[in-house]
Amino acid sequence: MFDRVAKNYDLGNDVLSLGQDRAWRDLVVEAVQPEPGQLVLDLAAGTGTSSEPFRQAGATVIATDFSLGMLAVGRARLPQLMFVAADALRLPYTDASFDAVTISFGLRNVEDPGAALTEMRRVTRPGGRLVVCEFSTPTWKPLRVLYANYLVAAIPAIARIVSSNPTAYRYLAESIQAWPDQAGLAAMIEAAGWRQVEFRNLSTGIVALHRATA
């Protein structure tokens, strides 16, 4: 599915998130705290938009994704990045090899998110960091109702204009609604063996940033 949306993927994000995704991405980088000399895995990296800020901060980042279409757009757009094709459920990296592992708007798309979190834990060095940025549940009830309508009605309508594959955006809306809330994801992260799990809400919970330590 991501192969088919790859070409317009970044434009679609900007429009559908009403430009908010840039601010969310800045906060992901702040949470990961990349430093020169550190090795960062950006999993489900897609076209590399979520990976490039880590390289700019001086870290070595490996942008990993299993969609060859997304990787091809990424390689053309950001040739300075290191892209690797691999499945989140079977990472081609040795144990404890990364200082930080992060996944933005990707965990929800992985077939078995719990297994992916375990695999991410395996490749992170002891004391290393996990940062997950994912759509979540708005904390304020009136916004929750408004947002549910946006997901069901507005996203597919906007997607018909900005995307070559509106069906993919119907999947986006449905998968956000089926995803666990903040506490549910925190429990899933803990069950995968991570410690000190905490989260903060962005845009009053439309997105949540979960952090943990290996």
Ligand X SMILES: C[S@@+](CC[C@H](N)C(=O)[O-])C[C@H]1O[C@@H](n2cnc3c(N)ncnc32)[C@H](O)[C@@H]1O
Footprint of ligand X on this chain (CB under 6 A)?
A: 2, 44-46, 49-50, 65-67, 70, 87-89, 104-106, 109-110
In the numeric block, the tokens 């955006």 are attached to 169
Q: Are 206 and 147 in contact (CB under 8 A)?
A: yes
Of the pair 115, 148, the CB lying nearest ligand X is at: 115
Of the pair 141, 162, the CB lying nearest ligand X is at: 162
The DSSP code sequence of 42-65 is: EET-TTTTTTHHHHHTT-EEEEEE
Q: Which residue is nearest to ligand X (CB)?
A: 46
Of the pair 140, 169, the CB lying nearest ligand X is at: 169
Write out the H or E segment, with its range, that includes residue 19.
Answer: none
Q: CB of 136: closest distance to ligand X in angstroms?
A: 15
Of the pair 112, 127, the CB lying nearest ligand X is at: 112
Of the pair 67, 136, the CB lying nearest ligand X is at: 67
Q: CB of 199: closest distance to ligand X in angstroms?
A: 18
Walk across the sheet containing 124-135 and list its strands.
82-85, 60-65, 39-43, 98-104, 124-135, 207-213, 195-202
Q: CB of 141: closest distance to ligand X in angstroms?
A: 27
Q: CB of 211: closest distance to ligand X in angstroms?
A: 17
Quote the CA–CA distance of 203 and 148 in Å, as a whole number.
15
Q: CB of 119: closest distance to ligand X in angstroms?
A: 10
Q: How far is CA 100 from CA 23, 25, 29, 64, 147, in A?
A: 20, 16, 11, 14, 32
